[in-house]
Amino acid sequence: AQRVERPDDNRVQQLDQQLREIDRQLREIHDRGSVLEAQKKFLANIQSGSTQPGKDRPMPGIDELKSLLQLTEGNLERLLAEQRQLDDRAAELEQRKQQLQEQRGTLNGDGKRFKRAVLRVALEQPAQVEVKLDYTLRDASWQPTYDARLRDGAKTIELTYQGLVRQSSGEAWTDVALTLSTARPA
């Protein structure tokens, strides 16, 4: 077996470019959200400052309060509507980003190294050959688990054991034949 780096392919590069573009758009949305938040605070300060009587300023009249309320209400509604649109767009982008990351991980093996086994077979005449490849992984382990039960009135203990298998190799382990061993690989 030979350890090699997986070669870059055009699809992975395209996905990387799309992911960078989504990140750029998400930064723009975040920046615009910060601006909207500052504008909302500014409106709140205007509303708060204009409705409080000061030393040299009397309490505003009804017409002035109505005008102020219309100004702040209209602007606040506009700001909140824009924030909702930004939130919706950000959610769409995050979902698309996750899809692209999953595609990239599938194509590129999550950027992990992989092993390649090269097998040369020489036959004197044509024949069907069955090849079986066994290998061990460092990213997999198992440990025995035990369950001991004493039944009411019984004089013996029922002992069952199983193997608890864990793996973080990045490979799908669907319908995989496993052999568990207490030996340590060389």
- Which amino acid belongs to residue 75? N
**Which pLDDT value is given to residue 91?**
95
Helix, strand, coil share of the chain (percent; to 5): 50, 15, 35
Smallest CA-to-CA distance from 83 within 22, 24, 31 is with 31
**Which pLDDT value is given to residue 32?**
95
In order along the chain (186 residues), what is the average pLDDT of each group of 10 residues? 53 89 95 93 78 66 76 88 95 94 73 66 88 76 87 86 83 80 71
**Which pLDDT value is given to residue 2?**
47
**Which pLDDT value is given to residue 3?**
45
The domain spans of the chain are: 2-115
The residues pairing with 148 across neighbouring beta strands, listed in sequence order, are 159
